[in-house]
């Protein structure tokens, strides 16, 4: 080598420095996690792709900044180009229990009715889809299957291959118990009948390959929750509550149900915060119960207006404070899913320790 001549940059050198860059949520380096691919090196220019564990990754800019800086420090590197794609990690337990093309199942529940649980479920699903994920929502609320109303869907498309075809609204595939009964008829299913109905919503529906299926559960505890857990492993459960002090008791009921059914608790969402109901009850409940506080959404008429019109607020008023809050919640949920699945894949070496 001549004096003053820069060494030739190789793919191995690039991988070597990227081993020092960690994925902030998973706390392991990008190379070990197989997140780096398509490395190109030519005349001092380096380009590579980072495969995120979710398109909703909340720390993408941090990962890009640290990866770019690490490679730029290599002698001879003049330019660094970082590309991104995403491959959502699957909950491997699902494929072993049920033959469905769904990677992760997220249950949204509440200790009581009237807390805006369906509004949260719908906006989470649409926000995840807006970020580039493949998303479905399953309305399992036997007391008030309102997801079709909030998503602006009136009927099912024609069946295909002897299976129900889920309609698509706002980029989300939708299925509901409400589609299985005549309009206006009360659902009084219990036990085996309800179990069979929920099973059909998985096995008799032609779902696409989904990264996330958000399930809107009935409020409280009962047969629907039990049937769902018996059918398929839930990647995680979310509790929706309101801000009042009594929210602690309500959230405790929901968490108790999840824990008894051995469903990992992802955290608590505080809905309808603000002048009317106050703020902080959900956060206090999360701290008292030892689970994550995922965030809050402030009360505003546009949330109700959008839901009534079949236009979730993240689509109806995307620049609003409430839409931004739902997008942040979606990022937090996606990050939780990534962490949970990483821990599950490492189970033989390190037991899963989730919020309990």
| Cα–Cα distance measured from residue 149 to residue 324, given in angstroms and rounded to the nearest whole number | 22
11-86 folds as GMP Synthetase; Chain A, domain 3 (3.30.300)
Residue 65: C-alpha distances to residues 53, 61, 77 (Å): 17, 6, 16
Domain-by-domain residue ranges, the chain?
Answer: 11-86, 92-345
pLDDT at residue 23, rounded to an integer: 94
Lowest mean pLDDT among 134-138, 163-167, 246-250: 246-250
**How much is the average pLDDT of 30-51?**
95
pLDDT of 174 > 60? The answer is yes
Residue 252 or 238, more confident: 238
pLDDT in tens, 298-330: 999 999 999 999 999 999 999 999 999 999 999
**How much is the average pLDDT of 55-75?**
95
Residue 323 or 349, more confident: 323
| Cα–Cα distance measured from residue 257 to residue 176, given in angstroms and rounded to the nearest whole number | 23
pLDDT of 351 > 80? The answer is no
Residue 292: C-alpha distances to residues 45, 168, 285, 325, 354 (Å): 42, 31, 10, 16, 10
pLDDT in tens, 109-126: 887 778 889 999 999 999
| Cα–Cα distance measured from residue 83 to residue 36, given in angstroms and rounded to the nearest whole number | 10
pLDDT of 356 > 60? The answer is no
| Cα–Cα distance measured from residue 344 to residue 278, given in angstroms and rounded to the nearest whole number | 38
Residue 171: C-alpha distances to residues 111, 116, 123, 282 (Å): 29, 21, 12, 30
Q: How many angstroms from the chain centroid is the CA of residue 273?
A: 22
pLDDT at residue 198, rounded to an integer: 81
**How much is the average pLDDT of 157-161?**
89
Confidence of residue 250 (pLDDT cuts 50, 70, 90): confident
**How much is the average pLDDT of 227-235?**
84
92-345 folds as Rossmann fold (3.40.50)
pLDDT at residue 191, rounded to an integer: 63
**How much is the average pLDDT of 158-180?**
91
Per-residue H/E/C for 218-276: CCCCCHHHHHHHHHCCCCEEEEEECCCCCHHHHHHHHHHHHHHCCCCEEEEEEEEEECC
pLDDT in tens, 198-224: 888 888 999 999 999 999 988 766 666
pLDDT at residue 349, rounded to an integer: 42
The secondary structure element, H or E, covering residue 50 is: strand 45-52
Task: Tell me what the pLDDT averaged over the chain comes to.
Answer: 87
């Amino acid at each position: 080598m001549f004096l003053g001549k820069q060494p030739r940059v190789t793919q191995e050198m690039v991988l070597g420095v990227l081993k020092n860059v960690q994925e902030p949520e998973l706390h392991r380096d990008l190379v070990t996690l197989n997140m780096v691919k398509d490395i190109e090196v030519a005349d001092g220019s380096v380009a590579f792709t980072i495969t995120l564990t979710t398109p909703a990754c909340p720390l993408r800019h941090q990962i890009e900044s640290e990866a770019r800086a690490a490679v730029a420090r290599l002698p001879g590197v003049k330019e660094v180009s970082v590309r991104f794609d995403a491959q959502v990690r699957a909950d491997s337990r699902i494929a072993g229990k049920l033959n469905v093309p769904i990677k992760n199942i997220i249950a949204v529940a509440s200790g009581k009715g009237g807390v805006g649980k369906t509004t949260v479920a719908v906006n989470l699903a649409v926000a995840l889809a807006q970020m580039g994920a493949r998303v479905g929502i399953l309305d399992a609320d036997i007391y008030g299957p309102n997801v079709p109303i909030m998503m602006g869907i009136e009927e099912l498309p024609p069946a295909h291959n002897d299976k129900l075809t889920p309609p698509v609204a706002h980029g989300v595939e939708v299925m509901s118990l409400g589609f299985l009964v005549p309009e206006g008829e009360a659902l009084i299913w219990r036990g085996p009948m309800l179990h069979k109905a929920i099973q059909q919503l998985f096995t008799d529906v032609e779902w696409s390959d989904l990264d996330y299926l958000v399930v809107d559960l009935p409020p409280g505890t009962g047969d629907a929750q039990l049937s769902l857990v018996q059918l398929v492993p839930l990647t995680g459960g979310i509790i929706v509550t309101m801000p009042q002090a009594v929210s602690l008791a309500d959230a405790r009921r929901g968490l108790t149900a999840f824990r008894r059914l051995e469903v990992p608790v992802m955290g608590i969402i505080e809905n309808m915060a603000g002048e009317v109901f106050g703020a902080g009850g959900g956060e206090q409940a999360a701290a008292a119960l030892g689970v994550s506080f995922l965030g809050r959404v402030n009360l505003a008429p546009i949330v109700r207006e959008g839901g009534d019109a079949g236009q979730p607020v993240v689509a109806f008023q995307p620049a609003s404070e409430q839409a931004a809050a739902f997008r942040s919640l979606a990022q937090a949920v996606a990050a939780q899913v990534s962490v949970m699945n990483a821990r599950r894949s490492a189970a033989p070496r390190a037991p899963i320790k989730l919020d309990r």
